[in-house]
Amino acid sequence: MLEKSTVKSTNIYKIYDRNSPNSFLPLLCRNLTYRAEKRNLIDDLNLSIDSPGVTVVLGFNGAGKSLLLRLLHGLIEPTAGSVLWAGKPLNNKIRHRQAMVFQKPVLLRRSVIENINFALATRGIRNRDRCELVLEQAGLSAIANRPARLLSGGEQQRLALARALAVEPEVLFLDEPSANLDPSSVNAIENNVLEASRKGTKVIFVTHELSQAQRLADNIVFLHRGKATEHGEADRFFSNPASKEAMAYLEGRLFV
Ligand SMILES: Nc1ncnc2c1ncn2[C@@H]1O[C@H](COP(=O)(O)OP(=O)(O)O)[C@@H](O)[C@H]1O
Ligand SMILES: [Mg+2]
């Protein structure tokens, strides 16, 4: 059943209701396929993500994790099948209630604070307090006026996450956001993601790092060669994986 939003203008359907955790309306992938160079890189994938918290998409390099995230967020079009949010195909209104952080931060050639303000402006939000809060959470307040392109890799990625969180997305996609960062930035990013999840943002986090998945995940989607070979509670997945490829992954073995 679709529920009209009470917060925003009419004709928008809730993806996630912050006030009642059980009313998460599922994200459905139906026979989702992405084909390139004569290969199904995402291969007839059926998936229903219907619980709040952090869903980690885990898998070997090349499994199709980044492609899946791009399909879910509508950055690329499926060759076949569909993505449905709360029963509706993805549209711009739904996309505006989501945010994404890429492995390599994509920042404006402006100051730190202008990057945040620009993101707020695109959503029609004017809120200085929120800007200051996300900068503080990211540990960037002291360098708010510095050009974003002069920041270190860790600072840039913390800014990319702060900018995503500033718009208070209902769904936050992250594609290996802390790859190659030092432990303090990894920690800051993970803490901010968990905090957003506790406040009600649905998090879909792609990583190939087992320890990170163990720290963050409520649920795991294990992706292998474009198929979701497992989807379930994180504890169960780590203690008792069902598929051969997930077992190999957890044991640090190549799967051939
Ligand atoms: N546009 C494309 N055309 C052809 N092959 C692609 C394209 N995008 C990704 N691939 C291939 O699809 C597979 C999955 O890619 P990707 O989703 O980036 O994997 P990962 O799980 O490491 O994020 C890889 O083998 C990659 O080389
Ligand atoms: Mg990737």
Each residue's pLDDT tens digit, 170-212 = 999 999 999 989 999 999 999 999 999 999 899 999 999 999 9
Confidence (pLDDT) at 94: 85
- The predicted-structure confidence for 69-111, as pLDDT tens digits, reads as follows 999 999 999 999 999 988 889 888 888 889 999 999 999 999 9
Q: Which domain holds residue 115?
A: 105-168
Whose atoms come closest to the Cα of 71: which ligand? 1
pTM of the model: 0.90
In a domain, 5, yes or no: no
Mean of the per-residue pLDDT values of the chain: 89
Per-residue confidence (pLDDT) for residue 12, from 0 to 100: 33
Alpha carbons 34 and 207: distance in angstroms, whole number: 20
DSSP code at position 158: H
The one-letter amino acid at 122: T
Which pLDDT score is estimated for 76?
A: 96
Residue 24: predicted pLDDT: 58
- Ligand 2 centroid vs 208 CA: distance in angstroms? 8
Ligand in nearest proximity to the CA of 77: 1
Distance from the alpha carbon of residue 79 to the mean position of ligand 1, in angstroms? 14
Instruction: Kindly indicate the confidence band of residue 28, based on its pLDDT and cuts at 50, 70 and 90.
Output: very high
Within a 10 A sphere around the Cβ of 8, how many other Cβ atoms? 12
In a domain, 110, yes or no: yes
**CB 45 within 8 Å of CB 31:** yes
Residue 31 above 60 pLDDT?
yes
186: which residues sit within 8 A by CB, 6+ positions away? 178, 212
Model confidence at 147: pLDDT above 50 = yes
Cα 158 to Cα 137: distance, rounded to the nearest angstrom: 9
Helices assigned H by DSSP within 128-217: 128-137, 153-166, 183-198, 210-216
Residue 64 lies in a domain: no
Give percent above pLDDT 70 in the chain: 90
Give the chain's radius of gyration (CA, Å): 18
The answer to whether residue 124 is domain-embedded is: yes
Report the pocket of ligand 1 as residue ranges, CB < 6 Å. Answer: 36-37, 41, 59, 61-67
> In a mutational test of the pocket of ligand 1, which residue from 34, 35, 41, 65 has the highest number of ligand atoms less than 8 Å from its CB?
41
Does residue 242 sit within a domain?
no
Residue at 190 is within a domain: no
The pLDDT, as a whole number, for residue 23 is: 53
For residue 27, the CA-to-ligand 1 centroid distance in Å is 22
Three-state DSSP state, 150: helix
Residues of the chain with pLDDT > 90, as a percent, come to: 77
Flag whether 127 is in a domain.
yes
Domain count of the chain?
1
Using the Cα atoms of residue 18, residue 20, residue 22 and residue 25 in order, give the sign of their dihedral. negative
The answer to whether residue 87 is domain-embedded is no
Q: Rounded to the nearest whole angstrom, what is the distance from the C-alpha of residue 216 to the centroid of ligand 2?
A: 18
Q: Which residues contact 1 (CB under 8 A, 6 or more apart)?
A: none
Residue-level pLDDT at 220: 97
Given this model, what pLDDT does residue 1 score? 36
What are the distances in angstroms from CA 256 to CA 6, 68, 216, 224, 242?
Answer: 51, 22, 28, 11, 17
